[in-house]
Structures are given as structure tokens and as C-alpha cells.
Amino acid sequence: MFAVIQFPGSNDDRDTRFALKSALGAEARLVWHKDRELPPGTNGVLLPGGFSYGDYLRCGAMARFSPILGAVRRFADAGGAVLGICNGFQVLCEAGLLPGALLRNAGLDFVCDWIHVRVERAAAPFTSRARPGQVLRLPVKHGDGRFFAEPAELERLEAAGQIALRYCDAEGRASAAANPNGSLADVAGVRNAAGNVMGLMPHPEHAADALTGGTDGLVILGSLVDGARRPR
Amino acid sequence: MSTAPPEPRVDLALAREHGLSDAEWERILEILGRTPSFPELGIFSVMWSEHCSYKSSRVHLATLPTEAERQPAGTVGTVLIGPGEGAGAVAIGDGLAAIFKIESHNHPSFVEPTQGAATGVGGILRDVFSMGARPIASLDSIRFGPIEEPKQQMLLRGVVHGIGGYGNSVGVPTVGGETTFHPCYRGNILVNAFNLGLVEADQIFLGQAAGVGNPVLYVGAKTGRDGIHGASLLASAEFGDETEAKRPTVQVGDPFTEKCLIEACLEVMRSGALVGVQDMGAAGLTCSSFEMASRAGTGIEMDLDRVPQRAAGMTPYELLLSESQERMLLVARRGAEESVREVFSRWDLDAVVVGRVTGDGRMRVRWHGATVVDIPVDPVAQSAPRYDRPRRRPADLDERQKLDLASIEPESDPQGALEQLLDAPSLGSRQWVWRQYDSMVLGNTVLGPGGDAALVRVRHEDGRETGRALAASVDCNPRWCWLDPRAGAIAAVAESARNVACTGARPLALTNCLNFGNPEKPEIMWEFAESVRGLGEAARALGTPVISGNVSFYNETAGRPIYPTPTVAVVGLLDDVARHAVSRWPASGLSVVLLGETREELGGSEWLWLRRGREAGLPPAVDLAAERRLQELLADVVASGLVPCAHDVSEGGLAVALAECCFAPEPIGVRVALEPGMRLEALLFGESTGRVLVATRDPAALLARARGAGVAARHIGETGGARLVIGPAVGRSWIDAEVAHLASIWSRALPRRLEEA
């Protein structure tokens, strides 16, 4: 069973749950931000997109203080799989569970569009269904998605293989035009050193059905379903 | 009677300042049998404002069809709720109802574009979820002056940021709309916000304060001093030089609170604890409580000291008239107060019992222990004045309609004309606008912005699929309405329904937002009455009843009115979402068929305006019977899988429509042969209505179906290659251009002008 955290202002929480259920047959439960424990039987945690607590301060800055984040942190520390999508990625960065920060888009405007990302590392529990270098077509929709890290830190992330996804064109080539928000080194998703926590700006849950635009998101959600297990 | 702090003396002079006429003041004295208190005067002024009372429009709106043609209870298309509630409702099968409405927020958006547009979105969402529906799709119709002007660019950016900032944050997708530019909107932009919601038909809530003794609860954001007299002074008067000073009457939106309010309200509605719900929109606490009591034939007793307040020292007058956003008034079952409060407190929202339903038909408001308002409900809510205002056909209308085609120089450069049309701000790609809107949240967007109509999948709240989808489109051609208001309104309904039909959906019902100038001017009132007449005719002929709507008068600045702009939004139902049509060529090697007839019509066309500088003539004729046959044929051929692509021919005519079909996502060309037989510019760029371009693998079958349905159809070309070629026959061409070249002109039309500033 997956836990989808529901903050006030979460918008893609139900969508994430539907995608897991209807496309992959995986059970997911919405878990309220005021709860202090994850439900028993949680095999993986997803932090969904949206504007947690309105995001009137810095995106994700309030959510990191919510009661459920303590439980999410313990779950991650024990090796459980935690995936942050869009606002969830911002929350994980604010909470220090992922490196880097997400700043205002370079173009300053909110961007909703279909983009491509290249899978930099194919590994459990988030990208095991991908081939290394595989290009995925996914939607983005955010105003604050420009990944930033200090040069030394970025170098360390590159060396440690923590860059999970990079913006690219349909052929897998990086270019300024293919980067929707000005992210440093075209970073679209990163993972933690242990590899069990990942964040990404694109929305795999909105690429889970051909009728609504595509199914490439199932590569990521499907990998999670394959690889998630209860931490010891 | 009042113990309020120093209040102005209530007399005729003050009533006039409140926008009330001398006759209305007399009426108030008659109803009360005494001079009103200051808060009472405020209540009358907002309740009898044009915005809240529809006093100038009611006699005309009463002529609109509000029922479906055939409606055995419960079948698809049955009108469940007509005009007069928060929004209208129509049955769509599977026990579900579509709830929708469009509403204007023009004046606030001109004064403060970002907050004005944002609160427009917030208001229409509340109208929809107050009926128990989850909002599932927003569309917007926004109109500005010439985009080359810095002020208009500022307004466009502000409005787009407002719509996006609110819609994105509140988690409701913005799936379509229209953005147009014309000098008539220079001093009075239009922002019309539409929302569509979904509800189990047996769980629709009404705005009624039923059940004597039931508690009245205030929920949502606290009340501040914002937006006082937004309805009466901002929305119900013309703009002049002092417009900037009206900024304080614009409210500020908080989409986060709204998001929590949506979830909490839907939760508490399903719990069975509520009797009635209404948004505190225009005129806030006053309008919502009066309307709720009036609908139920009851009264309300309220204590203002219990109203959650954001500012200190607010007077009864301010508390009653504030238009602070994200607030709702609920009437709960007696004894359910605690369970309601529990849900709202989970979402960290205020839910306070502020009063009770009474049986005496009076509104009694107490403050600091004294009664500050004591007036009968019905005379205020229902017996608002109604005016059948004088109407006069504009003296210059004949001049507007005069167009001698023989005097119009023929087009010598068809390709140049096509490029200029594709580069026109109102015809070029609007991607710059809709890329800033989240069109995907909720995961049901099958066709998002950029096509003829939006299409969203219908799922139950718990995720169960129905296999159906709803289509929606907002449309109006104001130039046509200016040339002939009745014909323009007919064309708006026809086009909106046709756009919906282009997805394969069957049009069900419509909502409208009637934007006009000052109704006290007989010419404006004539335009209004003619438009309503046209709307009614078209709605009847196409079987799309009017289930909700909004009137926005006084859209003029310094005496210059906007063109009549009756924006129409038609909603349609597609039975099998897997079988829908797209508006771009899906593949090469398909046959292109033009449905409908091309006539030699150039009046009111983009070509005439852009290439010859004239806005004149009669708009293209609409044959409503042929239109209906066309739309029914479309639903049939899309459902049977014969047609995977359909695109409405509208502004810019056939050549522009063909080019648009070639553009996205991957360019696909087309070779088209058109039989001459009329002026070339009419053939290529004329805007004859009732035409749709479709692509098919089996043109013979399609032509046979069209013949059987009584729809004109002609096989005109094949898709494929990288060029758009249009000529009289194979090997000869009027237009022969690289699609990529045309696409780049089209996609740069808006950004290039915004960057050049």
C-alpha cells in the first residue's frame, strides 16, 4: 500500500492515487498532513503536486514543518521509498531529504507543457523499468521548478550518480530550448545518496493514460510499484 | 434605532450617492414605512443595483428558453436547475449532472487586473461548488484593446497572471477559452470566467434557508473592508477619469483558502448536515442571506458580532456589504452545528453560527445588542424594480451595415493575406496565454487549450469511469454583434455549439455572459434586446437551453461603449470518450472534406478589416436548421469512427482553418483544390458560418452520410507533405507555402508583440 500525503493545498493527490490504482492496480491511501504516523503496511510514500499551505512563502517551506513529515523522514531513514512530485520535490528539498533547491522559473511565468526527460540512471526503486538514456515524454506545470545547487554540490551529485532525470529534446539531446525552467545542468529530478528518495518536477501521474496525453509516467510509477517494499 | 458610531444622515441625497434613483428611494420609504437606517440603505442599494437585481435585463431574459426540448425526467439533457441559482444544472447520464455558469469580472480586472481576474475565477468556482459540484474545468473569455499598446500589455499580463495564479493554485484545470483584441475594449477590458462542475444529480444543493430554527453558519475567510460596493458602484456604473480611485473596491483573492473551502464544503455537503449553501459573492453577506431566505420563503435573524472579522472596528454597514472573498453561508440541520464545525476545523477554517432561520419573512440583524436592520425579505429580494428601458435602433447602424463589394479592391496577394491573417493578434496562437495555465490537474483533460473545444473525461468522485466526456467552448464575434446584434448573437451560439460538435459531442445547454454598455442609453438597450432575441432563437433552434448566465452593463469609459459582446459557452456530452475528434490533422494520407456551404460573404470579416481597413457589412448569414443538421452529422460520424479530425471554419475563413489544421503537434501539409465561382477572397477568407473541415480515410462513405443528412459536403484535398497548397486545380495554386514557415508566423504573433514593447 502506498501513502499519498495530503497537505492543505495539495492538488494532484487524488490524481496520483488514481494513476497508481487504475494504471498499475496499486492501492494507495491519502494520508492527512496532521497525522503523525504513516498507516501500517505502507510500502512507499508519495508527496504530490500542488501548493501546500498556499505556498505563499517559499514553495514547500511550510509543509516541511507539518506533523506527517516526521514520519516520512523516519520512513526514508529506514530505507523506504519516497517520491516527491513537483511540490512534493520542493517539500523534500526544503526538508533536507534531497539536495538542492527549486527557484522561480527562469522565464518567471508558470509553465504548463509536455516536455522530455532523459533517464540518467536506471535503478530501483524509481527507474528500474527504464533503459539508461531512455527519453520519457511527461508534462510539467509549475512556476518554481528551476533546480539549483552550489557548483561543488552539483559536481558531487553528478559524481555520485544522483542526477536522476534531465530535460532534453525528443531525441535525448540537451538544449536551452528543451529546458522549460532554466534548471542548472538541465536537472529535472534528483535522488538522495542512498537512492531511496527521489524528487522530480515533471508529473508522471499525468502521463498515465493515453487518453489524456501519454503513458510514459508509468515507467516511473511502475518502477516504484515494482521496487517499493516495507522498510525494516 | 441604530447605536452605530457616527453615521451619515440617511436622506435622498445619500440614496443618490448610493446609485439609487429618486423613484427607488420613494419605494424604499413605502416598503419600510420609515426612513431606512444607514446599513438598510446600503442593503437596498446593493440588492437593487443593476449587478444584483438585473433590473434592466429581466424583461428580456424572461424570453429565453430554459427547458430542454424533450425531457422525460432524468434523461440526458434534462435541465435540472435553470437560471436563478448559483449555476445551472443539466443531466448527463450515469446519475450525474453537469453544473456550469459564466460570469463577468470586467471592471475589477480593468482597475486591478491580477486580483480582478483572480477573484473572477474564485467567484465562479464558488457558484459551482456551492451547488455541491466539484469544479472540473475552467475556461475564460478575455478581451483587450490593441496589444501593441503598453497599457493593454500590462492588462493582458495581469489578467493572465490572475487567472493562472488562482486557477493553478486552487487545483482546477483551465482547459480553454478565447483571447481577443479590439480597440473597443481599450478603456474597458472584458474578463468572463466560466466553470464546469460535476455532481451526483441527487446531491445538488440549492441556496435556500429552509427550516425555521435551523442554524445559519458563516464559513471561510474572515470579513475585511475589501470590495465594499463592488457590485453597486464598480459593476453598475460607467468608468470615467476617477476609475483609479475605485481600486479599494476590488477584492483580493486567496486561492489556498478557496481550495480548503472546496474540500471542506464538499465533505460537509455529503455528510447530510446541510440544508442550503450559498456563496457570499457580490454584496457579500447581504445578498447571500436575502436570496437564501427569499427562495425558502423564510426570514433570518443574524448577530453581526459573531461574524469573523479581519479588521478592527468594522461597522454593521461594512460587515453587511463587504465583498471579502472565499466566504460561504450555510444553513445546517438543527443539531448538526458541531459536525459541520468539526469538518471545517480540520481544514483550519472558521465555521461560526451567526444566526437562525425564522418564519416571519424578515431579515433582522443585531449588532452590539441593538437591532440595526429589520426589513422584509421579499420586497428587497424579489420586488426589485424592473425597467423596460427605452430602446432605439442606433442611427448609424445602416451606415455600419453598408458594404458595396464592387467597391472593394480584389485580393492580389492571397499568400500575403494568409500570412497577415495568421500574424493577427486575434488569430495567431494563444499558447503564450494558456501555457501559463495548469490544464492537466485532476487528470481528465482529453483535449486542452488550443483546439475548437475543450474535452474532459467524466469520472465519478471516487474515480469510477463512465466512459463519457464533456466538451465546452466559449465564443463571440463582437464585430458581427456590432454590425447586427441579433445575427451576431445567433452566430455566437452556433459557433460555440459547432466547436463542441467538432469533438464529436452533442451540444446540451448553454450559459451566457452579456457584456454591454450603459443600458440607460436607448441604443445600448436596443442592442441588448436584439442580442437576447438572437440568443433565444438560436438556443431554441439548436436545442441548447439557457441554464445560467450573467449580465454586465455599463461597460464603457468616457461615454465610449464596448461592442455588444454576448459571450456564449455551450457544453456538450460525448458518449464514448475513446471516439473523439481532434482539431489538427492526425495523419498524412487522409482525405479532407469541407462540410457546409461557402457563400460570397465578406461583411465583418477579418480579411476586410486587416486588408482593407473596413469594419462594415452584414455578418455572414446563419441557417440554423442547416447548422443543426451539420452538428448532428458530426456527432454521428465521429462516434462511428469515420472522422478522427474536425475543425470549425471561423475567423480568417477556409485558408486560415486549413493552415491551423496543419500546425500541431508535428506539421502535416495538405493539398486542396477549390472550385472558383466567387470572389477569390470570399472563397479563401470569407467567414460563411456552418462550415467544418474534417479528415477521413473514407471520403465516399462520408459524402454519402452527409448527403443522407442533408449537409453540403465536398471532397477538397488530401493531407500529407510539408506544404499548404490551395489552388483551383492540381498544378495551379493561389497559396503554396511551407507549413513550418506559416506555423512560425502564427506562433510568434503574440510573443513578438509582447517582446517588442
pLDDT for B52: 86
Q: Which residues does chain A have within 8 Å of residue B435's beta carbon, measured at their own beta carbons? A: 109, 111-113
Mean pLDDT of chain B: 93
- Gap from A152 CA to chain B (nearest CA, Å): 33
- Asked if the C-beta of A7 comes within 8 angstroms of chain B's C-beta atoms, the answer is no
- Asked if the C-beta of A113 comes within 8 angstroms of chain B's C-beta atoms, the answer is yes
Average pLDDT over residues B526-542: 98
A155 annotated active-site: no
Domain-located, residue B438: no
pLDDT for B231: 58
pLDDT for B666: 87
Average pLDDT over residues B161-178: 97
Chain B residues 573-602 within an 8 A CB cutoff of chain A = 577-578
Pairing status of strand B670-673 against strand B723-727? parallel
Average pLDDT over residues A212-222: 97
CATH of domain A2-227: 3.40.50.880
* Core vs surface per residue B544-565: b (16+ CB within 10 A) or e: bbbbbbbbbbbbbbeeebbbbb
Average pLDDT over residues B702-710: 98
- Asked if the C-beta of A18 comes within 8 angstroms of chain B's C-beta atoms, the answer is yes
Nearest to A211 among B254, B439, B446 (CB): B446
Nearest to B441 among A11, A17, A109 (CB): A11
- Binary contact (A206, B446; C-beta < 8 A): no
Residues 6 or more apart whose CB falls under 8 angstroms from that of B681 comprise B410, B411, B414, B417, B602, B607, B611
Half-sphere exposure of B333 (CA within 13 A, CB side): 9
Pairing status of strand A146-148 against strand A163-168? unpaired
Domain-located, residue B98: no
pLDDT over 70 (residue B379): yes
Nearest to A112 among B437, B443, B446 (CB): B437
Instruction: Assign B482 a pLDDT band (cuts: 50, 70, 90).
Output: very high
> Which DSSP letter does residue A50 get?
B
Domain-located, residue B165: no
pLDDT over 60 (residue B394): yes
pLDDT over 80 (residue B240): no
Nearest to B164 among A12, A110, A203 (CB): A110
- Asked if the C-beta of B503 comes within 8 angstroms of chain A's C-beta atoms, the answer is no
Nearest to A15 among B257, B439, B442 (CB): B442
Instruction: Assign B4 a pLDDT band (cuts: 50, 70, 90).
Output: very low
Average pLDDT over residues B185-201: 97
- The secondary structure element, H or E, covering residue B134 is strand B134-144
Pairing status of strand B506-515 against strand B546-552? parallel
Percentage of residues in chain B with pLDDT exceeding 90?
Answer: 85
| Residue A136 · residue A167 · CB < 8 Å | no
ipTM of the complex: 0.96
Instruction: Assign B3 a pLDDT band (cuts: 50, 70, 90).
Output: very low
Domain-located, residue B85: no
Domain-located, residue B614: yes
Outline where chain A has alpha helix (H): 13-18, 24, 67-77, 87-94, 151-159, 217-227
Give dist(CA B533, CA B391) in Å, integer: 14
A203 annotated active-site: yes
pLDDT over 60 (residue B233): no
- Asked if the C-beta of A211 comes within 8 angstroms of chain B's C-beta atoms, the answer is yes
Domain-located, residue B57: no
Nearest CA in chain A to B446: A212
pLDDT over 90 (residue B133): yes
Secondary structure class of A140 (helix, strand, coil): strand
Mean pLDDT of chain A: 95
Nearest to B446 among A8, A15, A212 (CB): A212
- Gap from A128 CA to chain B (nearest CA, Å): 25
- Asked if the C-beta of B256 comes within 8 angstroms of chain A's C-beta atoms, the answer is yes
pLDDT for B2: 43
CA quadruple B266, B271, B273, B275: dihedral positive or negative?
Answer: positive
pLDDT for B235: 61
Give dist(CA B202, CA A56) in Å, integer: 38
| Residue B190 · residue B306 · CB < 8 Å | no
- Binary contact (A55, B254; C-beta < 8 A): no
> Which DSSP letter does residue A172 get?
S
Q: Where are the domains of chain A?
A: 2-227
Nearest CA in chain B to A53: B256
Instruction: Assign B5 a pLDDT band (cuts: 50, 70, 90).
Output: low
Average pLDDT over residues B189-214: 95
Torsion angle of C-alpha atoms B675, B677, B679, B680, degrees rounded to 10: 20
pLDDT over 60 (residue B245): no
pLDDT over 50 (residue B131): yes
Residues 6 or more apart whose CB falls under 8 angstroms from that of B668 comprise B584, B585, B587, B588, B662, B719, B720, B721, B739
- Binary contact (A12, B169; C-beta < 8 A): no
Average pLDDT over residues B280-294: 87
pLDDT over 60 (residue A113): yes
- Gap from A130 CA to chain B (nearest CA, Å): 23
pLDDT for B384: 82
- Gap from B634 CA to chain A (nearest CA, Å): 20
Per the DSSP assignment, residues forming a β-bridge with B103 are B193
A168 annotated active-site: no
Give dist(CA B150, CA B157) in Å, integer: 11
Look at residues A114, A117, A115 and name the one whose alpha carbon lies nearest to residue A172: A117
pLDDT for A232: 60
> How many domains in chain B?
1
Secondary structure class of A194 (helix, strand, coil): coil
Please report how the helices B414-422 and B653-663 are oriented relative to each other, as an axis angle in degrees rounded to 10: 60
- Asked if the C-beta of A145 comes within 8 angstroms of chain B's C-beta atoms, the answer is no
Instruction: Give the CA angle between residues B334, B339, B341 to the nearest 5°.
Output: 100
Instruction: Assign A227 a pLDDT band (cuts: 50, 70, 90).
Output: confident
Cα-based distances in Å from B27 to A231, B380, B652: 75, 10, 52
- Binary contact (B443, A109; C-beta < 8 A): no
pLDDT over 90 (residue B246): no
pLDDT over 70 (residue B558): yes
| Residue B286 · residue B40 · CB < 8 Å | no
pLDDT for B248: 56
Give dist(CA B49, CA B519) in Å, integer: 13
- Binary contact (B435, A12; C-beta < 8 A): no
Average pLDDT over residues B477-506: 98
Distance of CA B334 to the CA centre of its chain: 37
Q: Which residues does chain B have within 8 Å of residue A139's beta carbon, measured at their own beta carbons? A: 440
Tens digits of residue pLDDT in B82-111: 998 889 999 999 999 999 999 999 999 999
Q: Quote the domain boundaries for residue B740.
A: 581-757
- Binary contact (B256, A54; C-beta < 8 A): yes
Average pLDDT over residues B686-711: 98
Give dist(CA A84, CA A93) in Å, integer: 9
- Asked if the C-beta of B468 comes within 8 angstroms of chain A's C-beta atoms, the answer is no
Tens digits of residue pLDDT in A14-33: 999 999 998 899 999 999 99
Tens digits of residue pLDDT in B20-42: 999 999 999 999 999 999 999 99
The CATH number covering residue B700 comes to 3.90.650.10
**One-letter amino acid identity for A80?**
G
Domain-located, residue B323: no
pLDDT for B247: 52
Average pLDDT over residues B124-128: 95
Instruction: Assign B637 a pLDDT band (cuts: 50, 70, 90).
Output: very high
pLDDT over 90 (residue B425): yes
**One-letter amino acid identity for B669?**
G
Which three cell numbers mark B581? 475528434
Nearest CA in chain B to A214: B446
Look at residues B85, B81, B118, B121 and name the one whose alpha carbon lies nearest to residue B103: B121
Tens digits of residue pLDDT in B671-698: 999 998 999 999 999 999 999 999 999 9
- Gap from A69 CA to chain B (nearest CA, Å): 18
pLDDT for B406: 93
Q: Which residues does chain B have within 8 Å of residue A49's beta carbon, measured at their own beta carbons? A: 441
Give dist(CA B543, CA B506) in Å, integer: 10
- Asked if the C-beta of A13 comes within 8 angstroms of chain B's C-beta atoms, the answer is no
Q: Grid coordinates 463519457 are at which residue?
A: B468
Residue A159: left if φ>0, alpha if ψ -120 to 50, beta else—which one? alpha
Tens digits of residue pLDDT in B39-76: 999 999 989 988 888 999 999 999 999 988 766 666 89
Point out the least confidently predicted range of B3-17, B172-186, B451-465, B477-491: B3-17
Domain-located, residue B497: no
